[in-house]
Amino acid sequence: MRSSIGGWGARSALVPALSLIPEAAMLFGSMGNQMNGVKDGEVLSVLCRGYNRWLQEEYAAPYPKRLFPIALIPWHDVPRAEAEMRWAAQRGFPGVKLPAKRLLHDRPVHHADFRPLWAAAQQTETVVGVHPSSADFLPGMADVLEREPFALSTASAIVSPMNGMVALTHFIYGGVLDRFPRLKVCVVECNGGWLPFLLDRLDARYHFKPSDFPDLRALPSELFLRQCHVAFMADERRTLPLYAEQLQDNLVWGTDYPHLDAEDPADIWKTLSGVPKHVQRKILRDNAIRMYRLPLKAGEPERRFTTENAESAEIGVR
């Protein structure tokens, strides 16, 4: 983290973002990545509940209309995971965090055991946020690379995008989206430049041998466009302008603050400089509002905050 204070307290966490001051932020906590390494479902369930209450009741409490917590749930214990998801939905959590791994313990996301979770997410309108995880025992797509010399630089460059692609492919090819047509999935912190390529490949393989995908009743790209979003990062300056208009209804933006490698939030304007204004508005604001059902109105002019008016906007730094 750039700032331990920013990582533990919402008021001081907003200081580096004053150059942009977003209207709202979804909180994907990093400490939950380590919780994914707890294999005892009962213990993990208790840890998740404690974390979720702290995130909502303490961290986000100063700005309940601006900071929206994403819940952790004990994925490998399906009954407890469903109970925590429903508890979080009742408390106003707009989404849950899913480790971006090839397998959740010994099962992929399209395994029949997980269907009660997807049914619960669909019923409660909870967004499933696919997010990188540092739990070593969860199988990922670059396990070998992570054990090589210089693993850190290798992993940080390609592991998260690879795991994001695999997780999204499992949701699509595994029939989860087809079976649960109102389920919403958002891939975050895995970059997004790979998205056009992946959608083309998924469609191509489906056309080549549709019998391999008996659970699909629609094209993979159609399922994605109907139910999914991907969060790009501000450092994707070469790729984002190439596909932003084509996928303008399915993109959102992630800053990754206060991670060590997080960019300055103001850098997003450089990345989007060649993108039409109406498209910028969708991917910076309106898409997230609709997906997460935030208490903001899509299409309305965004409120621009400064240090002078921050107190009246309830998002000030004290």
Per residue in 164-214, pLDDT (tens digit) is 999 999 999 999 999 999 999 999 988 899 999 999 999 999 999 999 998
Domain limits for position 219: 4-292
Among 195-204, 259-268, 284-293, the minimum mean pLDDT is found in 259-268
| β-sheet bridge partners, residue 185 | 128, 228
- What percent of the chain has a predicted confidence (pLDDT) above 90? 51
Residue 140 has pLDDT above 50, yes or no: yes
Higher pLDDT, 105 or 170: 170
Three-state SS annotation for 245-304: CCCCCCEEECCCCCCCCCCCHHHHHHHCCCCCHHHHHHHHHHHHHHHHCCCCCCCCCCCC
The predicted structure's pLDDT at residue 314 = 32
> Does residue 187 belong to any structural domain of this protein?
yes
pLDDT tier for residue 135 given thresholds of 50, 70 and 90: low
pTM score = 0.86
Q: Alpha helices of 102-216 — where are they, by DSSP H?
A: 115-124, 143-147, 151-154, 160-173, 176-179, 195-208
Residue 117 CB coordination number (10 Å): 25
Higher pLDDT, 277 or 76: 277
CB 228 within 8 A of CB 185: yes
- E strand or H helix that includes residue 129: strand 127-131
Q: Please compute Rg for the chain using Cα positions.
A: 19
**What is the pLDDT averaged over residues 289-306?**
74
Residue 230 CB coordination number (10 Å): 25
> Does residue 68 belong to any structural domain of this protein?
yes
> Does residue 299 belong to any structural domain of this protein?
no
**What is the pLDDT averaged over residues 249-274?**
82
- Total domains, the chain: 1
Through-space distance between the first and last CA atoms of the chain, rounded to whole angstroms: 21
> Does residue 317 belong to any structural domain of this protein?
no
Cα→Cα distances 143→66, 130, 196, 198, 287, Å: 37, 18, 25, 21, 33
> Does residue 24 belong to any structural domain of this protein?
yes
- E strand or H helix that includes residue 13: helix 10-13
Separation between Cα atoms, residue 192 and residue 252, nearest integer Å: 10
Q: Is the dihedral of CA 16, 19, 20, 24 positive or negative?
A: positive
The predicted structure's pLDDT at residue 276 = 94
Using DSSP bridges, classify how beta strands 228-232 and 95-99 pair: parallel, antiparallel or unpaired: unpaired
- What percent of the chain has a predicted confidence (pLDDT) above 70? 77
Residue 12 has pLDDT above 60, yes or no: no
CA dihedral 244, 245, 250, 256 (to 10 degrees): 20
> Does residue 275 belong to any structural domain of this protein?
yes
Q: Which residues contact 209 (CB under 8 A, 6 or more apart)?
A: none
Q: Which residues contact 219 (CB under 8 A, 6 or more apart)?
A: 203, 206
What CATH number did the domain enclosing 53 receive?
3.20.20.140
Separation between Cα atoms, residue 38 and residue 245, nearest integer Å: 42
The per-residue pLDDT for range 194-205, each reduced to its tens digit, is: 999 999 999 999
> Does residue 232 belong to any structural domain of this protein?
yes
The predicted structure's pLDDT at residue 102 = 75
The CA-based angle 219-160-192, given to 5 degrees, is: 50
The predicted structure's pLDDT at residue 76 = 82
Residues in the chain: 318
> Does residue 318 belong to any structural domain of this protein?
no
Cα→Cα distances 88→27, 36, 43, 194, 271, Å: 14, 18, 18, 32, 35
pLDDT tier for residue 50 given thresholds of 50, 70 and 90: very high
Provide the mean pLDDT of the chain: 82
Higher pLDDT, 133 or 127: 127
| SS3 (DSSP) at 57 | helix
The CA-based angle 238-258-286, given to 5 degrees, is: 60
**What is the pLDDT averaged over residues 240-265?**
84
